[in-house]
Structure 1
Amino acid sequence: MAIADRRRGTPQRNFARFIHAFNTEARMAARSWTVHWLGWIWPLILFVVISGIYQAGTLQDMPVAVVDQDHSTLSRQYVRQLDAGSHASLVTAEGGLSEALDGLQQGDQYGLIYLPHDFEADALAGRQPSAAFYYNSLFYAAGFYSTLDASGLTAGLQQSMRPQLAAGMGLSMPGLASISVAFESLYNASGNYIYYQQFAAVVHLLQLFVIVATIHVLAREAPELRASSPHILRAKALGVRLVGKLAPYTLLFSTLLMIEVFFLVWLNGAVIKGSVLWMLAITAFYVAASQAVGLVLFIFTANRFSAYSLVGMLIGIAQTYSGVLIPALAMPLPAQLISHIEPLTHALSGLFDQFLRDAPGTSGLYACLKLSLYPLIAYVIAKQRLRKRLDFSPA
């Protein structure tokens, strides 16, 4: 009878231990300026900076050098209309082609337009005029984006000159079949920074603060820091107390990301296509997975400074292999395996499904299930090694 009573009392005792650990850590966090800086001050400052960088929504006014050897009415019209476009901002290279090439090589301009002699004469004579547009692809998308207005402008000028050429030759314009091609960009993922890259950057940076905060919180339990911090993890029921100790930060960072998403929607005109509740669930599991990474780092390093030194490497790997910088399907198999190991990959996939694609709830559930594996694995490791790490290793 006594054994049955103890078993019935175990859930109540574990819940009380969880609440005690949660309340104790929440009071500590409220009094810690380090937690305030890591938990919301620095993340919001970086969010404001990133929002300023991506405010235009896409790359605009890329500096492009112009070498006009023709100086004709048509060449000046071409330069003027291209400069009026949104992507390129044209700068005349007074020193000619050599000066423009030097500027392109040094990164002063992202592109170079060269209009040769007889540009207008060839066009009016019915010959094929040529204009060269070089761009520096070493600057990732910037050089390519500077060329986006050129092809449409060239096609428009050619279309406008056809009646003029036909009239000069005494010919009538032949009737052409009307062919209509409609281009529809699904989700506008690569071209719009607000909808894609800014959102991905905010989610990615959150992982940095979560991992660093987790290591800092766990280090306070080490023997040399124990006098200045309530020692939660030495009592019975380590797993329950560990979850209670980390739970305030799970709530803090999940709330922070949802606030940043709200500002993203409100200030930049973004639209959430799917379910906000599933986004919140994925965010909570993503924060828990990031805490699990911080926990494992703390356990398997000699001190917190060694753990901090590895955070930057892990964050860089996460960004590289998450599919934001490099398409995941284009990676070789080892890189795809690394991508699947990173929690950021699954978090971004699930959040984008809800943010941009109006995916069904099963997509959010699948993302949450994958992210739940990280805290489960970390929990098993912590049960075996965390107390040894706290007892025999410096903070």
Structure 2
Amino acid sequence: MEKLAHIFRLGLKELTSLRHDSVLLLFMVYAFSVAIYMPASGSVIGVHNASVAIVDEDHSQVSRRLAEALQPPEFQPPVPIAYERIDQTLDDGEHTFVIDIPAGFQADLLAGREPAIQINVDATAMSQAFMGAGYIGRIFQRELAAYGSRGQAASQQPVALTSRALFNANLESGWFLAIIQIVNNITILAVLLTGTALLREREHGTLDHLLVLPLTALEIMLAKIGSNALVVVFCTWLSLELVVKKALGVPLAGSITLFLAVTALYLFACTALGIFLATLARSIPQFGLLSIPVIIPMLLLSGGSTPMESMPQWLQWVMHGSPSTHYVSLSTAILFRDAGPSVVWMNLAALTAIGLAFFFVALARFRRSLAA
């Protein structure tokens, strides 16, 4: 009980120190409000409002029908231009897509030949260029099939594909981005809060005061981890309720309580990592630089930005040793698919094992740094 009392009082000291750090408090408010709302509401992963120019050399019913098929919100109304302006339009970046419908296109189509449509793409706008070209191809195929249904073209489609989108029927990218932003901000804050708290005490000399008290390294470390984890979990809950559910209108099907419990487990691993990095650094600026090559791969390679399956096999094995990989999988499974502990127990076990490993390595390093 005495050790628990020590941890409790040290935790109160950490919370009091955080309360007087106005810059850090302001950053936390920003990280769990504006930094989540703006990307989720303003960023679009798919094709949206893409600019299109069209060179209609055929001036037929089919060419007009194809031009009219490109509609908002995916595409802007196509702008007619002359054939001679294709290269200049792309060089000047006026339009992302320039479509050239050749002369005699409708006649060749009705004659059973296979006429070609040229789609010129400005691939500097990589996301829209890659997806938009596929969108245009599917739209044109649909329109040509509908036009040819009066003849024999309809019989050339032996299979009809029906797609169903589960858990996000309208394919709203903002739903996923909101949760991933929370995950990323939790990772950043968990590492920075504990690391800067330890280094701030070392720079101000208060860590030496703690060492003359009947306290152990384990008590000091648990107090820092517990207090900072409590603050981040509370901010996460507020962000889910006020920003994600109310402001963004994202329907969360899963248990918020289970997600917060998993968040606390994830924070146990990340805060221990922050303490470990702080024992390697001698100042807060040095700690900030040391954190960059650790945090950035955790964010980019955790499966939130790029699916794990698209990475090289050796990199997948490496990233399975990162707590962020399992946390991203747990977050999406719990919040969107309403997965329970019986479904995600393997990720929970892996996250627990990684957290304990990080904790004991950080504790050993912290003890050595205190004795030095």
- TM-score, structure 1 length as denominator? 0.81
Q: CA deviation at 1:277?
A: 1.9
The reply on whether 1:183 has 2:163 as its aligned counterpart is yes
Point out the more displaced range, 342-351 or 43-52. Answer: 43-52
The reply on whether 1:269 has 2:249 as its aligned counterpart is yes
Decide whether aligned partners of structure 1 residues 251 and 366 sit closer, same or farther in structure 2, where only a CA change above 3 A counts.
farther
Decide whether aligned partners of structure 1 residues 142 and 161 sit closer, same or farther in structure 2, where only a CA change above 3 A counts.
closer
- 1:3 aligns with none
Is this contact kept in 2: 1:24–1:230, CA < 8 A? no
Is this contact kept in 2: 1:60–1:87, CA < 8 A? yes
- 1:312 aligns with 292
Partners of 2:211 and 2:50 lie apart in 1 by 55
Say which one has the larger Rg: 1
- Equivalent of 1:255 in 228, 234, 240: 234
**Amino acid aligned to 1:78:** L
Decide whether aligned partners of structure 1 residues 157 and 42 sit closer, same or farther in structure 2, where only a CA change above 3 A counts.
closer
Point out the more displaced range, 134-143 or 245-254. Answer: 134-143
Q: CA deviation at 1:154?
A: 2.4
Map residues 1-395 of structure 1 onto 2, 5 A cutoff: 12-54=1-43, 58-82=46-70, 84-92=71-79, 94=81, 96=83, 99-101=85-87, 103-104=89-90, 108-136=94-122, 139-162=125-148, 164=150, 180-187=160-167, 191-222=171-202, 224-226=203-205, 231-232=209-210, 235=213, 236-262=215-241, 263-389=243-369
Q: CA deviation at 1:165?
A: 5.3
Decide whether aligned partners of structure 1 residues 197 and 293 sit closer, same or farther in structure 2, where only a CA change above 3 A counts.
same
- CA deviations over 1:99-143 (Å, ceiling 9, x no partner): 444554675543332211222332344433322234455644322
- TM-score, structure 2 length as denominator? 0.85
Is this contact kept in 1: 2:31–2:185, CA < 8 A? no
Is this contact kept in 1: 2:39–2:178, CA < 8 A? yes
**Amino acid aligned to 1:386:** F
Decide whether aligned partners of structure 1 residues 320 and 108 sit closer, same or farther in structure 2, where only a CA change above 3 A counts.
farther
Is this contact kept in 2: 1:273–1:356, CA < 8 A? yes
**Amino acid aligned to 1:372:** T
Structure 1 residue matching 2:205: 3-state secondary structure: helix
- CA deviations over 1:22-67 (Å, ceiling 9, x no partner): 111111111111330333234422123213323x685411223323
- CA deviations over 1:297-333 (Å, ceiling 9, x no partner): 1112343322211222222212332123333223323
Q: CA RMSD in A?
A: 3.2
Structure 2 residue matching 1:67: 3-state secondary structure: strand
Decide whether aligned partners of structure 1 residues 64 and 85 sit closer, same or farther in structure 2, where only a CA change above 3 A counts.
same
Q: CA deviation at 1:200?
A: 1.6
Decide whether aligned partners of structure 1 residues 165 and 179 sit closer, same or farther in structure 2, where only a CA change above 3 A counts.
closer
Structure 2 residue matching 1:322: 3-state secondary structure: coil
Structure 2 residue matching 1:325: 3-state secondary structure: coil
Partners of 1:127 and 1:102 lie apart in 2 by 31
Decide whether aligned partners of structure 1 residues 22 and 375 sit closer, same or farther in structure 2, where only a CA change above 3 A counts.
same
**Amino acid aligned to 1:295:** I
Partners of 1:391 and 1:101 lie apart in 2 by 69
Point out the more displaced range, 187-196 or 207-216. Answer: 187-196
**Percent of aligned positions that are identical:** 19
Q: CA deviation at 1:14?
A: 0.7
Structure 1 residue matching 2:201: 3-state secondary structure: coil
Structure 1, unmatched stretches of 5+, are: 1-11, 167-172
Partners of 1:261 and 1:50 lie apart in 2 by 15
**Amino acid aligned to 1:19:** F
Partners of 2:150 and 2:170 lie apart in 1 by 39
Structure 1 residue matching 2:51: 3-state secondary structure: strand
Decide whether aligned partners of structure 1 residues 348 and 245 sit closer, same or farther in structure 2, where only a CA change above 3 A counts.
same
Structure 2 residue matching 1:204: 3-state secondary structure: helix
Decide whether aligned partners of structure 1 residues 356 and 43 sit closer, same or farther in structure 2, where only a CA change above 3 A counts.
closer
- CA deviations over 1:53-82 (Å, ceiling 9, x no partner): 23x685411223323222333322211221
Is this contact kept in 1: 2:53–2:81, CA < 8 A? no
Paired positions, count: 370
Decide whether aligned partners of structure 1 residues 106 and 346 sit closer, same or farther in structure 2, where only a CA change above 3 A counts.
farther
Structure 2 residue matching 1:60: 3-state secondary structure: coil
Decide whether aligned partners of structure 1 residues 334 and 136 sit closer, same or farther in structure 2, where only a CA change above 3 A counts.
farther
